Structure 1
Amino acid sequence: MGVAGSGKTTIGMLLAARLGCPFTDADTLHSAANKAKMAAGLPLDDADRQPWLASVRAAIETAQRAGQPHVFACSALKAAYRDALSQGDTAIRFVFLHGSPALLAERLAGRSGHFFNPALLDSQLATLEAPIGALQIDIAAPPASIVTRILAALQ
């Protein structure tokens, strides 16, 4: 979890590969309307996010029924969003990828082909409620090192 540019997809894909399990980027579960809104530089509100969070939760439940680990990348910016995703299930672990606003902005400026408008970074940072009890990882390290640290902490 984390704001745009924190490396959720990159780290999530690497982590899933190391675990030998599936990976899902929750961005793929956004509605066309949410994607268009973000592309236009308009931040999502809680009403926009509610159906999306329900879709992510449904995907989590499907993965749990499959009985194998699964890595999800999701912004999960607020405690209420994380509660909606986990629903009290202690088997769900959150890894908070965080970095300086300058590094995040630099990463977003170099990204192409994504619907997220980099101008929304400030609104995501303002919305972000740092998680309590989540593994917190600074994104300044190389992705492989970050994944190794996550795996060590999750053991």
Structure 2
Amino acid sequence: MTRLVVMGVSGCGKSTVGALLAQRLGVAFLDADSLHPPANLAKMAGGVPLTDADRWPWLRLVGAALAAEPHGAVVACSALRRPYRDLLREAAPDLRFVHLVGTRAQLAARMSSRDGHFMPVSLLDTQLATLEPLAPDEPGVELDCTLDPGSLVGAALREVVAVTR
């Protein structure tokens, strides 16, 4: 069974890559943004960064959703800090991570080109400041988000999924 979180800051391609990975693996896909309470979405849309107090209940929902999928799942979730990822692993101990990374300029350009997304570019710097890359003992891989989605899916399948089977 495969359980993956495609993680990173806003604009890195989590939803696109996550949906493609889930399709290739034949497992459920969930965009963790869909589990945010309306208050969190309103805060971010208003340019106010979330606090840990805002994030913990949301992350518990994400972890429960991961654990509830009997055949595995891929979730697109920022999972910016190690403690957030630890909480997700408590719910799904076999969890692996695909961290999509890019430069601030690349991410800002991608965010600016999106229509109708709740996350403003003005919050990118707070996300980058909060981000803690995967530690060597965390199961996963870091990939360059500027690669095309198909290449990212291929790399994730080779680097993360193959070692979990």
- TM-score range for the pair, normalised by the shorter chain length: over 0.9
Query: Of 109, 113, 116, which residue of structure 2 is paired with 1:110?
Result: 113
How far apart are residue 49 of structure 1 and its match? 0.4
TM-score (norm 1): 0.95
Q: Hey, what does 1:4 align to over in structure 2?
A: 10
User: What's the TM-score, normalizing by structure 2?
Assistant: 0.89
The residue type paired with residue 83 of structure 1 is D
Unpaired stretches in structure 1, ≥5 consecutive residues: none
Aligned Cα root-mean-square deviation (Å)? 1.1
Q: For 1:48 and 1:142, locate their aligned partners in 2 and report how far apart those are by CA, in whole Å.
A: 33
Percent of paired sites with the same residue: 50
**1:54 paired residue number:** 60
**Matched residue SS, 1:42:** coil
Q: Using the alignment, how far apart are the partners of 2:33 and 2:121 within structure 1? A: 15
Residue 60 of structure 1 deviates from its aligned partner by 1.2
Measured after TM superposition, the shift of residue 117 of structure 1 is 1.4
Provide the residue aligned with 1:131 in structure 2.
134
- 5+ residue gaps, structure 2, are 1-6
Mapped pair 1:35 → 2:41: yes
SS in 2 for 1:59: helix
The 1-side partners of 2:67 and 2:156 are apart by 23
Please, which moves more after superposition, 4-13 or 87-96?
87-96
3-state SS in 1 of match to 2:66: helix
Determine which structure has the larger strand proportion and give its number: 2
Q: How many residues align?
A: 152
Q: Which residue of 2 aligns with 1:77?
A: 80
Moved more, 23-32 or 112-121: 112-121
Instruction: Give distance in 1, aligned partners of 2:106 and 2:75.
Output: 23
Q: Output the amino acid matched with 1:81.
A: Y
Give the residue type in structure 1 aligned to 2:102: G
The structure 1 segments of at least 4 consecutive aligned residues displaced by more than 4 Å after TM superposition are none
What residue identity is the alignment partner of 2:98? V
Q: How many angstroms apart in 1 are the aligned matches of 2:110 and 2:91?
A: 33
